[in-house]
Amino acid sequence: MRTSVSVHDLAFRYQSGSYELEVPRFEVAERERVALIGPSGVGKTTLLYLIAGILQGHRGTLNVLGESTGSLSESRRRQFRLSHIGMIFQEFELLDHLTVRENILLPYLAGAEQARSEDVMERMRRLSARAGLEQYLGRRPCGLSQGERQRVAICRALITEPSLLLADEPTGNLDPATTRTILDAVFEEAEEHQASLIWITHDHSILGRFDRTVDFLAEFGEAS
């Protein structure tokens, strides 16, 4: 089985030493859709940040899309993330001094490999229309609702057609109908581009949409 994510004996701790996460083994196959569940505070978001290269472990191996990301410098991890990973943050991480259009295009503005071609602009228009955002493209995110801001963040994660999607409770601020729409959009994009998906959620009603559910607390225990 070919994997998109392979974690072995991975450990992370903050410099203060007040928090430590250990993940003996965690793998996600190519094109697999994995739901990650568990109570708040057990380390689910930390694991996503390690896979994305935002954080770096102090022990163990981490292979993402065939790249041993733990051996990369911070700048190379950032470039790898921009080019190959779509990240949907729980707190959106939008830039309020940019328009909605610019926030969606941010991976390219920040230096991803592909230029802002007409293909990219057309993809931005298609994603924003599907998310119901086309009328807001010229606005600043600070003028949008929580749900609308979340949809901007989701479009930004999809714009580069990433091979790996990491989502931290991406539908927590959305109503059930919009949640279904967003799930459909993300799953169709993942299918079209043969991407793997790791999706943190507390909404157990959507778990049937995934290939596999991993209970973080049962699998790895609580971070200390």
Predicted local distance difference test score (pLDDT) of residue 137: 96
Q: How far apart are CA 11 and CA 41, in angstroms?
A: 16
Count the alpha carbons within 13 Å of 24 in the hemisphere toward its beta carbon. Answer: 5
Q: How far apart are CA 131 and CA 186, in angstroms?
A: 11
Are 198 and 165 in contact by the 8 Å Cβ rule? The answer is yes
Count the alpha carbons within 13 Å of 112 in the hemisphere toward its beta carbon. Answer: 23
Q: Domains in the chain and their CATH numbers?
A: 3-220 (3.40.50.300)
Q: Along the 224 residues of the chain, how does pLDDT read in single tens digits?
A: 689 999 999 999 877 767 789 999 999 999 999 999 999 888 999 999 999 999 998 899 999 999 988 788 888 888 899 889 999 988 888 999 999 999 999 988 765 455 567 888 899 999 999 888 999 999 999 989 888 898 899 999 999 999 999 999 888 767 888 788 888 888 998 999 899 999 999 999 999 999 999 999 998 877 76
Measured from the Cβ of residue 204, the count of other Cβ atoms closer than 10 Å reads 10
